[in-house]
Amino acid sequence: MSIGNRVVVHSGAVLGADGFGYAFDGRAHRKIPQVGGLRIEDDVEIGANTTIDRATLGHTLIRRGSKIDNLVQVGHNCEVGRTSSSSLRSASPARAPSAMAPSSPARSALPITSRWPQEPS
């Protein structure tokens, strides 16, 4: 994990936690090791009780100047774009080009993207 300069992390935030990665093998869900990292660039603010997962491979990225509100969950392999301001409930990772949690009635207006390899067609 790398954290840039002038980063503010409020109370209760969890950075670099194990992502929610499982694969179903036909009988059971098997844990996929989350061996990637988390990169937080300069001038970022992360709200209280926010969770940002580390990547499965590569890095979850929080770009320079981003502001993330309290109680936000950023999933593994996401990238939060430069100078974004987020009060999302959740940012979805793999295979979702720009998404929020399914329970949310709105779509994200932020540049949150997945850098996870796409499944073959």
Active site residues: 76
- H or E element that contains 15: strand 14-17
* Residue 19 burial (C-beta neighbours within 10 Å; 0-12, 13-18, 19+): buried
Which residues are within 8 A (CB) of 61 and not within 5 positions of it... i.e. 6 or more apart? 39, 41, 78, 79, 80, 115
Polymer length of the chain: 121
Cross-strand partners of 8 = 45
